[in-house]
Amino acid sequence: MALPFDHRYPAVDDLRQAARARIPGFVFDFLDGGCHDNVNLASNTADLRDVKLQPFYLADHGSVSLETELFGKTWGAPLGICPVGLQGLIWPGACEALARAATARRIPFILSTCTTASLETIGQITAGAFWFQLYNPVDPAIREDLLARAERAGCEVLVVLADVPTFGYRPHDIRNQFAVPPRLTARTILQMILRPVWGMTMLRRGKPTLASLTPYMPANMDLRQLADFMDRTFTGRLTGDDLARLRDRWKGKMVLKGVATVEDAEIAVARGLDGIIVSNHGGRQLDAGLSSIRALGPIVEAVGRRTTVMIDSGIRSGPDIARALASGARFTFLGRAFMYAAAALGDRGGDHAAEILSRQLLQVMEQVGCDRVADLPRHLVRQ
Ligand SMILES: Cc1cc2nc3c(=O)[nH]c(=O)nc-3n(C[C@H](O)[C@H](O)[C@H](O)COP(=O)(O)O)c2cc1C
Protein backbone atom coordinates (compact mmCIF):
# COMPACT_ATOMS: atom_id res chain seq x y z
CA MET A 1 0.00 0.00 0.00
CA ALA A 2 1.35 3.46 -0.94
CA LEU A 3 2.39 5.68 1.97
CA PRO A 4 0.90 9.20 2.33
CA PHE A 5 2.82 11.67 0.13
CA ASP A 6 5.21 13.95 2.02
CA HIS A 7 4.78 17.39 0.44
CA ARG A 8 7.89 18.79 2.06
CA TYR A 9 10.16 16.90 -0.31
CA PRO A 10 8.91 17.11 -3.91
CA ALA A 11 12.44 16.92 -5.37
CA VAL A 12 15.61 14.90 -4.79
CA ASP A 13 17.43 18.10 -3.88
CA ASP A 14 14.99 18.61 -0.98
CA LEU A 15 15.91 15.13 0.23
CA ARG A 16 19.61 15.95 -0.17
CA GLN A 17 19.24 19.06 2.01
CA ALA A 18 17.27 17.11 4.62
CA ALA A 19 19.90 14.35 4.58
CA ARG A 20 22.64 16.92 5.12
CA ALA A 21 20.76 18.19 8.18
CA ARG A 22 20.25 14.69 9.63
CA ILE A 23 23.60 12.90 9.26
CA PRO A 24 27.10 13.82 10.51
CA GLY A 25 29.23 15.88 8.10
CA PHE A 26 31.81 13.15 7.45
CA VAL A 27 29.03 10.70 6.55
CA PHE A 28 27.32 13.19 4.25
CA ASP A 29 30.65 13.90 2.53
CA PHE A 30 31.16 10.16 1.94
CA LEU A 31 27.73 9.90 0.33
CA ASP A 32 27.66 13.16 -1.58
CA GLY A 33 31.22 13.50 -2.84
CA GLY A 34 32.92 12.35 -6.01
CA CYS A 35 36.68 12.03 -6.39
CA HIS A 36 39.62 14.42 -6.83
CA ASP A 37 38.03 17.77 -7.80
CA ASN A 38 34.47 16.48 -8.29
CA VAL A 39 34.59 17.31 -12.02
CA ASN A 40 33.09 14.02 -13.22
CA LEU A 41 30.48 14.21 -10.46
CA ALA A 42 29.33 17.61 -11.68
CA SER A 43 29.43 16.79 -15.39
CA ASN A 44 27.25 13.68 -14.93
CA THR A 45 24.23 15.80 -14.06
CA ALA A 46 25.18 18.88 -16.09
CA ASP A 47 25.66 16.94 -19.37
CA LEU A 48 22.50 14.94 -18.77
CA ARG A 49 20.58 18.18 -18.38
CA ASP A 50 21.85 19.35 -21.77
CA VAL A 51 19.68 16.63 -23.32
CA LYS A 52 16.45 18.16 -24.62
CA LEU A 53 13.10 16.55 -25.33
CA GLN A 54 10.48 17.67 -27.82
CA PRO A 55 6.72 17.45 -27.24
CA PHE A 56 4.22 16.33 -29.89
CA TYR A 57 1.08 18.03 -28.59
CA LEU A 58 -1.16 17.23 -31.51
CA ALA A 59 -0.33 13.55 -31.96
CA ASP A 60 -2.92 10.97 -30.86
CA HIS A 61 -2.10 9.32 -27.63
CA GLY A 62 -3.69 7.24 -24.89
CA SER A 63 -2.88 6.68 -21.25
CA VAL A 64 0.68 6.80 -20.05
CA SER A 65 2.29 3.79 -18.40
CA LEU A 66 5.66 3.60 -16.66
CA GLU A 67 5.71 -0.20 -16.79
CA THR A 68 8.86 -1.48 -18.44
CA GLU A 69 9.98 -4.92 -19.58
CA LEU A 70 13.47 -5.99 -18.57
CA PHE A 71 14.98 -9.47 -18.39
CA GLY A 72 11.63 -11.19 -18.73
CA LYS A 73 9.88 -9.20 -16.00
CA THR A 74 7.54 -6.24 -16.01
CA TRP A 75 8.79 -3.55 -13.63
CA GLY A 76 6.64 -0.79 -12.16
CA ALA A 77 8.91 1.97 -13.53
CA PRO A 78 12.14 2.19 -15.56
CA LEU A 79 14.24 3.02 -12.49
CA GLY A 80 16.13 0.91 -10.00
CA ILE A 81 18.26 1.27 -6.88
CA CYS A 82 22.05 1.16 -7.36
CA PRO A 83 24.36 -0.87 -5.18
CA VAL A 84 25.78 1.40 -2.46
CA GLY A 85 28.38 0.38 0.09
CA LEU A 86 28.09 1.05 3.83
CA GLN A 87 24.42 2.00 3.63
CA GLY A 88 23.79 1.31 7.32
CA LEU A 89 26.44 3.85 8.27
CA ILE A 90 24.71 6.51 6.18
CA TRP A 91 21.37 5.69 7.78
CA PRO A 92 20.80 2.70 10.07
CA GLY A 93 18.78 0.02 8.32
CA ALA A 94 18.89 1.89 4.97
CA CYS A 95 19.82 -1.15 2.92
CA GLU A 96 17.00 -3.30 4.27
CA ALA A 97 14.51 -0.41 4.02
CA LEU A 98 15.42 0.33 0.38
CA ALA A 99 15.12 -3.36 -0.49
CA ARG A 100 11.65 -3.37 1.06
CA ALA A 101 10.63 -0.23 -0.85
CA ALA A 102 11.92 -1.69 -4.13
CA THR A 103 9.91 -4.85 -3.61
CA ALA A 104 6.74 -2.90 -2.82
CA ARG A 105 7.26 -0.62 -5.83
CA ARG A 106 8.26 -3.44 -8.22
CA ILE A 107 11.58 -1.86 -9.10
CA PRO A 108 15.00 -3.58 -9.11
CA PHE A 109 17.20 -3.42 -6.03
CA ILE A 110 20.93 -4.11 -6.41
CA LEU A 111 22.73 -5.26 -3.27
CA SER A 112 26.37 -4.17 -2.95
CA THR A 113 29.02 -6.69 -1.91
CA CYS A 114 30.21 -4.06 0.59
CA THR A 115 27.09 -2.97 2.34
CA THR A 116 25.58 -3.56 5.73
CA ALA A 117 22.88 -6.14 5.02
CA SER A 118 23.77 -9.67 4.01
CA LEU A 119 22.81 -11.61 0.91
CA GLU A 120 20.69 -13.82 3.13
CA THR A 121 18.77 -10.92 4.72
CA ILE A 122 18.07 -9.21 1.40
CA GLY A 123 17.11 -12.53 -0.16
CA GLN A 124 14.46 -12.88 2.54
CA ILE A 125 13.18 -9.30 2.33
CA THR A 126 12.81 -9.40 -1.46
CA ALA A 127 11.74 -13.06 -1.66
CA GLY A 128 14.69 -13.55 -4.00
CA ALA A 129 13.76 -10.69 -6.32
CA PHE A 130 17.05 -8.82 -5.96
CA TRP A 131 20.21 -8.28 -7.99
CA PHE A 132 23.69 -8.74 -6.51
CA GLN A 133 26.71 -6.59 -7.37
CA LEU A 134 29.89 -8.61 -7.17
CA TYR A 135 33.34 -7.18 -6.61
CA ASN A 136 35.49 -9.83 -8.22
CA PRO A 137 37.33 -11.65 -5.41
CA VAL A 138 40.93 -12.70 -6.01
CA ASP A 139 40.49 -15.86 -3.99
CA PRO A 140 38.43 -18.34 -6.03
CA ALA A 141 37.10 -19.87 -2.81
CA ILE A 142 35.59 -16.53 -1.70
CA ARG A 143 34.22 -15.94 -5.19
CA GLU A 144 32.57 -19.34 -5.22
CA ASP A 145 31.19 -18.89 -1.73
CA LEU A 146 29.66 -15.49 -2.56
CA LEU A 147 28.14 -16.83 -5.78
CA ALA A 148 26.74 -19.89 -4.04
CA ARG A 149 25.24 -17.71 -1.30
CA ALA A 150 23.75 -15.37 -3.91
CA GLU A 151 22.23 -18.35 -5.68
CA ARG A 152 20.80 -19.76 -2.48
CA ALA A 153 19.33 -16.34 -1.61
CA GLY A 154 17.55 -16.40 -4.97
CA CYS A 155 19.46 -13.54 -6.67
CA GLU A 156 17.95 -12.88 -10.12
CA VAL A 157 20.73 -10.91 -11.78
CA LEU A 158 24.46 -10.93 -11.09
CA VAL A 159 25.98 -7.47 -11.57
CA VAL A 160 29.76 -7.66 -12.06
CA LEU A 161 31.61 -4.43 -11.32
CA ALA A 162 34.23 -3.21 -13.79
CA ASP A 163 35.11 0.31 -12.70
CA VAL A 164 36.99 -0.06 -9.41
CA PRO A 165 40.44 -1.32 -10.46
CA THR A 166 41.71 0.81 -7.59
CA PHE A 167 40.09 2.60 -4.65
CA GLY A 168 38.86 6.08 -5.68
CA TYR A 169 40.92 9.09 -4.51
CA ARG A 170 38.44 11.07 -2.43
CA PRO A 171 39.96 14.09 -0.69
CA HIS A 172 36.93 14.70 1.55
CA ASP A 173 37.16 11.15 2.97
CA ILE A 174 40.92 11.51 3.45
CA ARG A 175 40.47 14.86 5.21
CA ASN A 176 37.75 13.37 7.43
CA GLN A 177 39.82 10.23 8.10
CA PHE A 178 36.66 8.38 7.12
CA ALA A 179 36.67 4.92 8.67
CA VAL A 180 34.44 1.99 9.49
CA PRO A 181 33.45 2.16 12.29
CA PRO A 182 33.84 5.98 12.42
CA ARG A 183 37.11 7.18 13.96
CA LEU A 184 36.41 9.12 17.16
CA THR A 185 38.18 12.46 16.80
CA ALA A 186 37.07 15.74 18.39
CA ARG A 187 35.65 16.70 14.97
CA THR A 188 33.70 13.51 14.28
CA ILE A 189 32.41 13.38 17.86
CA LEU A 190 31.18 16.98 17.52
CA GLN A 191 29.57 16.14 14.17
CA MET A 192 27.81 13.16 15.73
CA ILE A 193 26.63 15.20 18.73
CA LEU A 194 25.14 17.72 16.29
CA ARG A 195 23.11 14.92 14.65
CA PRO A 196 21.55 13.19 17.69
CA VAL A 197 18.76 11.40 15.82
CA TRP A 198 21.34 9.64 13.63
CA GLY A 199 23.37 8.72 16.73
CA MET A 200 20.38 7.45 18.68
CA THR A 201 19.08 5.44 15.73
CA MET A 202 22.56 3.97 15.28
CA LEU A 203 22.70 2.99 18.97
CA ARG A 204 19.23 1.44 18.77
CA ARG A 205 19.93 -0.57 15.62
CA GLY A 206 23.51 -1.57 16.46
CA LYS A 207 26.88 -1.00 14.85
CA PRO A 208 26.83 -1.52 11.07
CA THR A 209 29.03 -4.27 9.63
CA LEU A 210 29.89 -5.36 6.10
CA ALA A 211 27.39 -8.15 6.56
CA SER A 212 28.00 -10.21 3.40
CA LEU A 213 31.77 -10.06 3.93
CA THR A 214 31.96 -10.72 7.67
CA PRO A 215 32.91 -14.38 7.15
CA TYR A 216 36.01 -13.32 5.18
CA MET A 217 37.36 -10.22 6.96
CA PRO A 218 39.11 -9.12 10.16
CA ALA A 219 37.09 -6.87 12.51
CA ASN A 220 37.31 -3.07 13.12
CA MET A 221 39.32 -1.73 10.19
CA ASP A 222 39.99 1.94 9.45
CA LEU A 223 39.67 3.34 5.94
CA ARG A 224 43.27 2.54 5.03
CA GLN A 225 42.92 -1.03 6.29
CA LEU A 226 39.56 -1.37 4.57
CA ALA A 227 41.10 -0.12 1.33
CA ASP A 228 43.95 -2.63 1.75
CA PHE A 229 41.48 -5.43 2.47
CA MET A 230 39.43 -4.48 -0.58
CA ASP A 231 42.56 -4.29 -2.75
CA ARG A 232 43.81 -7.62 -1.44
CA THR A 233 40.53 -9.46 -1.54
CA PHE A 234 38.82 -7.93 -4.55
CA THR A 235 41.10 -7.09 -7.39
CA GLY A 236 38.67 -4.92 -9.25
CA ARG A 237 40.88 -5.40 -12.27
CA LEU A 238 38.62 -7.50 -14.38
CA THR A 239 39.59 -9.15 -17.66
CA GLY A 240 37.56 -10.68 -20.47
CA ASP A 241 38.68 -14.07 -19.16
CA ASP A 242 37.34 -13.28 -15.67
CA LEU A 243 34.04 -12.40 -17.28
CA ALA A 244 34.05 -15.65 -19.26
CA ARG A 245 34.73 -17.64 -16.06
CA LEU A 246 31.90 -15.89 -14.25
CA ARG A 247 29.62 -16.35 -17.25
CA ASP A 248 30.30 -20.11 -17.21
CA ARG A 249 29.60 -20.30 -13.51
CA TRP A 250 26.50 -18.07 -13.22
CA LYS A 251 23.41 -19.62 -14.77
CA GLY A 252 21.10 -16.63 -14.37
CA LYS A 253 21.18 -13.21 -16.00
CA MET A 254 24.49 -11.40 -15.78
CA VAL A 255 25.27 -7.71 -16.28
CA LEU A 256 28.50 -5.69 -16.38
CA LYS A 257 28.39 -2.42 -14.41
CA GLY A 258 30.81 0.45 -14.90
CA VAL A 259 31.05 0.36 -18.68
CA ALA A 260 32.38 3.63 -20.12
CA THR A 261 33.62 2.65 -23.59
CA VAL A 262 32.53 0.79 -26.72
CA GLU A 263 35.62 -1.42 -26.27
CA ASP A 264 34.47 -2.76 -22.87
CA ALA A 265 30.88 -3.03 -24.07
CA GLU A 266 31.99 -5.20 -27.01
CA ILE A 267 33.90 -7.52 -24.67
CA ALA A 268 30.84 -7.91 -22.45
CA VAL A 269 28.72 -8.80 -25.49
CA ALA A 270 31.34 -11.21 -26.83
CA ARG A 271 31.47 -12.96 -23.44
CA GLY A 272 27.74 -13.54 -23.50
CA LEU A 273 26.56 -11.09 -20.83
CA ASP A 274 22.89 -10.17 -20.86
CA GLY A 275 23.35 -6.45 -20.36
CA ILE A 276 25.61 -3.57 -19.37
CA ILE A 277 25.21 -0.58 -17.09
CA VAL A 278 26.94 2.47 -18.51
CA SER A 279 28.25 4.08 -15.34
CA ASN A 280 31.22 5.94 -13.88
CA HIS A 281 30.34 5.04 -10.28
CA GLY A 282 28.62 8.37 -9.79
CA GLY A 283 31.84 10.26 -10.50
CA ARG A 284 33.70 8.55 -7.66
CA GLN A 285 36.52 6.93 -9.62
CA LEU A 286 37.84 8.78 -12.72
CA ASP A 287 37.55 12.53 -12.40
CA ALA A 288 38.93 13.00 -15.93
CA GLY A 289 36.34 10.63 -17.39
CA LEU A 290 33.38 11.36 -19.64
CA SER A 291 30.00 11.89 -18.07
CA SER A 292 27.81 8.80 -18.21
CA ILE A 293 25.33 10.33 -20.66
CA ARG A 294 28.12 11.28 -23.08
CA ALA A 295 29.55 7.75 -22.88
CA LEU A 296 26.11 6.29 -23.55
CA GLY A 297 25.52 7.40 -27.16
CA PRO A 298 28.39 5.58 -28.90
CA ILE A 299 27.80 2.48 -26.76
CA VAL A 300 24.11 2.28 -27.67
CA GLU A 301 25.04 2.84 -31.31
CA ALA A 302 27.60 0.00 -31.21
CA VAL A 303 25.90 -2.70 -29.11
CA GLY A 304 22.35 -1.49 -28.42
CA ARG A 305 20.80 -4.01 -30.78
CA ARG A 306 22.77 -6.92 -29.31
CA THR A 307 22.46 -6.33 -25.58
CA THR A 308 20.47 -4.42 -22.99
CA VAL A 309 22.11 -1.08 -22.29
CA MET A 310 21.22 0.59 -18.97
CA ILE A 311 22.69 3.67 -17.29
CA ASP A 312 23.45 5.27 -13.93
CA SER A 313 25.40 8.30 -12.61
CA GLY A 314 24.03 11.80 -12.23
CA ILE A 315 20.31 11.02 -12.42
CA ARG A 316 18.39 13.18 -9.94
CA SER A 317 14.85 13.57 -11.30
CA GLY A 318 12.08 12.25 -13.53
CA PRO A 319 13.16 14.57 -16.35
CA ASP A 320 16.72 13.15 -15.98
CA ILE A 321 15.32 9.62 -16.28
CA ALA A 322 13.38 10.65 -19.40
CA ARG A 323 16.54 12.24 -20.86
CA ALA A 324 18.55 9.06 -20.31
CA LEU A 325 15.85 6.80 -21.76
CA ALA A 326 15.33 9.11 -24.74
CA SER A 327 19.09 8.89 -25.34
CA GLY A 328 18.85 5.13 -25.79
CA ALA A 329 19.19 3.59 -22.31
CA ARG A 330 16.65 0.83 -21.67
CA PHE A 331 16.58 1.34 -17.91
CA THR A 332 18.00 3.76 -15.33
CA PHE A 333 19.50 3.30 -11.87
CA LEU A 334 20.00 5.86 -9.10
CA GLY A 335 22.44 5.73 -6.21
CA ARG A 336 22.59 8.97 -4.23
CA ALA A 337 18.94 9.92 -4.83
CA PHE A 338 17.71 6.88 -2.90
CA MET A 339 20.35 7.26 -0.21
CA TYR A 340 19.49 10.95 0.36
CA ALA A 341 15.90 9.78 0.79
CA ALA A 342 16.86 7.04 3.24
CA ALA A 343 18.94 9.50 5.28
CA ALA A 344 16.22 12.15 5.20
CA LEU A 345 13.20 9.98 5.91
CA GLY A 346 14.51 6.70 7.34
CA ASP A 347 12.45 3.63 6.58
CA ARG A 348 9.97 5.49 4.37
CA GLY A 349 12.64 7.25 2.28
CA GLY A 350 12.86 4.65 -0.48
CA ASP A 351 9.15 4.69 -1.09
CA HIS A 352 9.09 8.49 -1.18
CA ALA A 353 11.99 8.71 -3.64
CA ALA A 354 10.35 6.14 -5.93
CA GLU A 355 7.09 8.10 -5.70
CA ILE A 356 8.50 11.50 -6.60
CA LEU A 357 10.65 10.11 -9.41
CA SER A 358 7.66 8.22 -10.83
CA ARG A 359 5.36 11.26 -10.55
CA GLN A 360 7.95 13.45 -12.25
CA LEU A 361 8.58 10.96 -15.06
CA LEU A 362 4.86 10.47 -15.60
CA GLN A 363 4.38 14.24 -15.90
CA VAL A 364 7.19 14.50 -18.48
CA MET A 365 5.73 11.67 -20.55
CA GLU A 366 2.25 13.21 -20.42
CA GLN A 367 3.70 16.58 -21.35
CA VAL A 368 5.60 15.36 -24.42
CA GLY A 369 2.82 12.98 -25.51
CA CYS A 370 4.60 9.68 -24.93
CA ASP A 371 2.54 6.72 -23.72
CA ARG A 372 5.24 4.08 -23.44
CA VAL A 373 8.72 4.28 -21.94
CA ALA A 374 10.13 2.50 -25.00
CA ASP A 375 8.88 5.37 -27.21
CA LEU A 376 10.86 8.11 -25.42
CA PRO A 377 13.70 8.08 -28.01
CA ARG A 378 11.25 9.62 -30.53
CA HIS A 379 11.20 12.74 -28.35
CA LEU A 380 14.96 13.29 -28.30
CA VAL A 381 16.10 16.56 -29.84
CA ARG A 382 19.15 15.52 -31.88
CA GLN A 383 21.86 18.14 -31.32
C1 LIG B 1 28.22 6.26 -1.16
C2 LIG B 1 28.31 5.41 -2.40
C3 LIG B 1 28.75 4.12 -2.29
C4 LIG B 1 28.80 3.30 -3.43
N5 LIG B 1 29.16 1.98 -3.31
C6 LIG B 1 29.10 1.17 -4.38
C7 LIG B 1 29.33 -0.22 -4.25
O8 LIG B 1 29.57 -0.73 -3.16
N9 LIG B 1 29.26 -0.99 -5.38
C10 LIG B 1 28.96 -0.45 -6.60
O11 LIG B 1 28.90 -1.18 -7.59
N12 LIG B 1 28.74 0.86 -6.74
C13 LIG B 1 28.77 1.68 -5.68
N14 LIG B 1 28.49 3.00 -5.81
C15 LIG B 1 28.14 3.53 -7.14
C16 LIG B 1 26.65 3.38 -7.39
O17 LIG B 1 26.28 2.04 -7.55
C18 LIG B 1 26.24 4.12 -8.66
O19 LIG B 1 27.03 3.73 -9.74
C20 LIG B 1 26.30 5.64 -8.49
O21 LIG B 1 25.90 6.04 -7.20
C22 LIG B 1 25.39 6.28 -9.52
O23 LIG B 1 25.48 7.64 -9.48
P24 LIG B 1 24.45 8.60 -8.70
O25 LIG B 1 24.78 8.47 -7.26
O26 LIG B 1 24.78 9.92 -9.26
O27 LIG B 1 23.06 8.12 -9.01
C28 LIG B 1 28.44 3.83 -4.69
C29 LIG B 1 27.99 5.15 -4.78
C30 LIG B 1 27.91 5.93 -3.64
C31 LIG B 1 27.38 7.33 -3.78
- Asked, for residue 338, whether it belongs to a domain, the answer is yes
Question: Does the structure show a pLDDT above 80 at 20?
Answer: yes
Q: For residues 346 and 354, is the Cβ–Cβ distance under 8 A?
A: no
- CB atoms inside a 10 Å sphere around CB 145: 14
* DSSP strand pairing (73-75 vs 68-70): antiparallel
- Ligand 1 centroid to Cα of residue 212, in Å, is 17
Residue 332's domain spans which residues? Answer: 12-255+267-379
Q: Whose Cα sits closest to atom 6 in ligand 1?
A: 84
- Asked, for residue 1, whether it belongs to a domain, the answer is no
Give pLDDT, residue 76. Answer: 98
Q: For residues 159 and 132, is the Cβ–Cβ distance under 8 A?
A: yes
CA dist list (Å): 126 to 103, 106, 145, 271? 6, 10, 21, 29
Q: For residues 168 and 35, is the Cβ–Cβ distance under 8 A?
A: yes
Question: Does the structure show a pLDDT above 90 at 261?
Answer: yes
- Asked, for residue 178, whether it belongs to a domain, the answer is yes
- Asked, for residue 24, whether it belongs to a domain, the answer is yes
- Asked, for residue 4, whether it belongs to a domain, the answer is no
Q: To the nearest whole number, what is the mean pLDDT of the chain? A: 94
- CB atoms inside a 10 Å sphere around CB 109: 25
Q: SS3 of 308, please?
A: strand
- Asked, for residue 7, whether it belongs to a domain, the answer is no
Q: Could you give the number of structural domains in the chain?
A: 1
- Asked, for residue 261, whether it belongs to a domain, the answer is no
Q: For residues 265 and 276, is the Cβ–Cβ distance under 8 A?
A: yes
pLDDT band at 162 (very low <50, low <70, confident <90, very high): very high
The enclosing domain of 41 has a CATH number of: 3.20.20.70
- Asked, for residue 2, whether it belongs to a domain, the answer is no
Give pLDDT, residue 323. Answer: 98
Give pLDDT, residue 1. Answer: 53
Give pLDDT, residue 234. Answer: 81
- Ligand 1 atom at minimal distance to the Cα of residue 115: 8
Question: Does the structure show a pLDDT above 60 at 203?
Answer: yes
Beta carbon of 85 within 6 Å of any ligand 1 atom: yes
Question: Does the structure show a pLDDT above 90 at 99?
Answer: yes
